[in-house]
Amino acid sequence: MIKNKGLVGKLVIVDTGGVSETNFTRLFSRVNNGTSVLQIRELPVNTESNDVVFYLINGKEDGEFERLTDMREKTGCKIYLIKAGEACHKCLPYLSFPFDGLFSITFLEENTHLILETIYSNLPVLEPSLHKNLAFEIDQKKSRKTPIKKFELKRELAGCLLKENELNVLQGLLEGKTTNEIAVELYFSPSTVSATISGILKKMQVNDRTQATVQAIRNGWVESLR
């Protein structure tokens, strides 16, 4: 059993959308000692600074997050969001709100002791699976801010359709080079490059070099180097 040590007033579980049939009172009573548990279907009218509110996300909050934020600012109570399903990357926007944690019901059921112990220690709780999603999202945003230096053709993929000399010419097209520039780089005549481009267009079933580069990207043949 976990001792409260007087740091937490009461545990309030709010399920305004009726998204869960879990008996949280029974769940918490298995590991909790001496803290009152209240499970309700509407936002609480009064909360104290040492109360802990668990709000079940229902996807139709309709301003309830704003009310929860206001409640937290006025009373200082802790607010944790609970997802009635998998806590995946779609939950990340919820982290923009000034709450104290986010996790799924499954994670809560499997780690009730750990979660309450963490909450009683006045610490935030974030389901581990979200750490990876959050790190990936941050990395993606950083990448989007970094300009693309070069489009690199994935030869092992494009090579299933194109020959070696066609791969070299397509790489030149991805770099935005003209027929003459490609010819100089590859030691081909301009007419040879033009003929090779015609072969590429025919194999890729496109009409011009622009469509060829776009199609290559759509096919997953291209890596963006930043």
Highest mean pLDDT among 30-34, 53-57, 141-145: 53-57
Highest mean pLDDT out of 20-34, 61-75, 93-107, 191-205: 191-205
Q: Are strands 222-225 and 150-153 parallel, antiparallel or unpaired?
A: antiparallel
What does the pLDDT look like over 93-132, one tens digit per residue?
A: 888 888 999 999 999 999 998 898 888 888 888 888 887 6
Running DSSP on this structure, what letter comes out for residue 95?
A: G
pTM for this entry: 0.60
Percent of the chain with pLDDT over 70: 89
Q: Give the percent of the chain with pLDDT over 90.
A: 46
Q: Give the pLDDT of residue 135.
A: 66
- Name the amino acid, one letter, at 44: P
Q: Work out the average pLDDT over 24-49.
A: 85
- 127 vs 152: CA distance, rounded Å: 37
Give the pLDDT score at 201. 95
Residue 156 has pLDDT above 90, yes or no: yes
Structure confidence at residue 35 (pLDDT) = 79
| Residue range(s) in the chain whose domain bears CATH number 3.40.50.2300 | 2-142
Pairing of strands 2-3, 125-126: unpaired
> Can you name the CATH fold of 150-225?
Arc Repressor Mutant, subunit A (1.10.10)
pLDDT band at 138 (very low <50, low <70, confident <90, very high): low
Q: What span, in angstroms and rounded, lies between the C-alpha atoms of 101 and 147?
A: 34
To the question of domain 2-142 being in CATH 3.40.50.2300, the answer is yes
pLDDT tens by residue, 168-221? 999 999 988 889 999 999 999 999 999 999 999 999 999 888 889 989 988 999
CA dihedral 16, 17, 20, 22 (to 10 degrees): 10
Q: Is the pLDDT of residue 161 over 70?
A: yes
User: What pLDDT sits at residue 4?
Assistant: 54
Q: How far apart are CA 46 and CA 40, in angstroms?
A: 13
| Domain ranges in the chain with CATH number 1.10.10.10 | 150-225
Place of tokens 């936002």: 43
Neighbours of 84 (CB within 10 A): 18
Which three-class secondary structure state does DSSP give residue 112? helix
Task: Please give the pLDDT value at position 5.
Answer: 54
